[in-house]
Amino acid sequence: MRRYLAPIAVVASALCSPAALAEDVAGDWRQTVFIYGMGAAIEGDAQIGNVSVPVDVSISDLFDALKFGAMAAYRIENDEWSFSGDVTYMNLGWSGQTQQGRASSGLDVEQITVMGTAGRRLSPHLEALFSLAYFDLSADLQVRVLQQRTEVSRDASWVDPLVGLNYVVPIGGKWTYTLRGDVGGFGVGSDLTWHMITTFRRQNTERFGWYLGYRVIAYDYEDGNGRNYQHYDLQQHGPGIGVSIAF
């Protein structure tokens, strides 16, 4: 866990300035804490050294591949600006074999994503976003052909800049629909990273609400050479449910 504390501290530090400003301008800023649990599936391709694993999760076996994911987020906003930070944990796995049963492969990924975001309101319902996202993952690949079994493990971490949009629109008196999309990487950390989350949120009281959503985190990351070569072209996605607390 020590390697996760530094990026989390950076995001927390970045959020201290707007929080202090909120104390000076009472009533202008609104703060919300989100706690979100999700089922997460994975698909794509992964390679460590000369061992590669294709991951293909169809709709029929989506729920067999679901594992655990969770997110905690904090957002502070006024009518022009917003600042937010979130930490996402995912424990993902997949395994498959040929029809003859002579070969099988598997992939297990444990991932922490820390994202800090600044937003500028373009209209009452639309924000432009700029984010920095830190990825830290541990991957285990297993390949078996007949009686020969190969297993390799590696850790990787990188930081990506992202730009995006956040669209929020009320539906009726207590419901709100949100759609957020981000794209980045640009060769800074990964070649390409993109992120999407969509939610339906019900505000039960002034302070307490709950929401249903679907989130996708995808990246194409490549580093090293020879035995130290790593390539992850993965898409992680799944439904979830959470609560929000405003103050």
pLDDT of the residue at 15 = 45
Residue 98 is which amino acid? T
As a whole number of angstroms, the distance between CA 110 and CA 112 comes to 7
Residues β-bridged to residue 160: 133
pLDDT of the residue at 161 = 98
Largest Cα separation within the chain, whole Å, is: 68
Tally of domains within the chain: 1
pLDDT of the residue at 53 = 87
* Residue 43 to residues 104, 143, 159, 223, Cα–Cα distance (Å): 16, 16, 22, 20
pLDDT of the residue at 212 = 96
> Is this model's pTM higher than 0.75 or not?
yes
pLDDT of the residue at 41 = 82
Q: Which residues contact 29 (CB under 8 A, 6 or more apart)?
A: 18, 21, 22, 76, 77, 78
pLDDT of the residue at 100 = 52
pLDDT of the residue at 204 = 94
The residue segments making up the domain with residue 6 are 2-246
As a whole number of angstroms, the distance between CA 227 and CA 232 comes to 15
Q: In the chain, which residues have pLDDT < 50?
A: 1-2, 4-5, 7-8, 10-12, 14-27
pLDDT of the residue at 167 = 98
pLDDT of the residue at 58 = 58
Q: Per DSSP, which regions of the chain are E strands?
A: 30-48, 51-55, 67-77, 81-97, 103-123, 126-145, 148-171, 175-185, 192-203, 208-223, 230-246
As a whole number of angstroms, the distance between CA 165 and CA 194 comes to 12
The torsion angles phi and psi of 10, rounded to 5 degrees, stand at: -65, -45
pLDDT of the residue at 145 = 77
CATH code at 21? Answer: 2.40.128
